[in-house]
């Protein structure tokens, strides 16, 4: 693994850790509680970020430009029926490990073909591995902030104060 990849992965791990602090000690019922005008829930955020790790890891590892299963599934923003905190946390941690393993084997400058998007059919873009990892970092950081707001509105818990 290059020092650059290690640095990006360390930042991604920190963002993941903050997300897991945010959902620490919530109940299964709180997974689907809407606490703001947004439809986002803690379970939906965890599910979306898990799916994001899985999808982008497939894109990175396969490097074939094919669309991974579920990439465009809008239900990924909701907690699956019957989801539990333990189950979603475990799935997220497993997806994160898979991303870390794939990234460790990849060269940061390697160009990876991306799947076509529904809004640009026929256009195939290529991103270097570093951009894929930075995209995952950006998504994780953004949604960790969303989760913090949702959690604070549920029970007043503040992720920054809960660190450590």
HEC string of 26-64 equals CCCHHHHCCCCCCCCCHHHHHHHHHHHHHHHHHHHHHCC
CA atoms of 71 and 56, how far apart (whole Å) = 9
Q: Which pLDDT tens digit goes with each residue over 90-149? A: 999 999 999 999 999 999 999 999 999 989 988 889 999 999 999 999 999 999 999 999
* Model pLDDT, residue 82: 95
3-state secondary structure (DSSP) of residue 145: helix
* Model pLDDT, residue 13: 97
- Which pLDDT band, with edges at 50, 70 and 90, does 1 fall under? confident
* Model pLDDT, residue 160: 78
Rounding to the nearest 10 degrees, give the CA dihedral for residues 26, 30, 33, 39.
Answer: 50
* Model pLDDT, residue 45: 97
Whether the predicted pLDDT of 36 surpasses 90: no
- Which pLDDT band, with edges at 50, 70 and 90, does 161 fall under? confident
* Model pLDDT, residue 17: 96
* Model pLDDT, residue 158: 82
Cα dihedral 101, 105, 111, 115 sign: negative
CA atoms of 28 and 51, how far apart (whole Å) = 19
How confident is the model over 72-97, as a mean pLDDT? 95
CA atoms of 137 and 7, how far apart (whole Å) = 11
């Amino acid at each position: 693994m290059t020092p650059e990849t290690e640095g990006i992965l360390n930042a991604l791990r920190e963002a993941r850790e903050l997300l897991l602090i945010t959902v620490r000690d919530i109940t299964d019922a709180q997974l689907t509680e809407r606490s703001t005008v947004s439809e986002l829930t803690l379970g939906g955020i965890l599910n979306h970020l898990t799916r994001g790790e899985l999808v982008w890891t497939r894109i990175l590892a396969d490097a074939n430009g094919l669309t991974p299963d579920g990439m465009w599934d809008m239900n990924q923003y909701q907690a699956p029926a019957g989801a539990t905190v333990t189950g979603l946390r475990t799935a997220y941690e497993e997806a994160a490990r898979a991303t870390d393993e794939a990234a460790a084997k990849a060269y940061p400058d390697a160009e990876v073909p991306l799947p076509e998007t529904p809004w640009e059919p026929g256009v195939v873009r290529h991103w270097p591995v570093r951009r894929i990892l930075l995209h995952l970092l950006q998504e994780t950081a953004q949604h960790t902030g969303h989760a913090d707001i949702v959690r604070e509105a549920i029970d007043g818990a503040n992720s920054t104060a809960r660190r450590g």
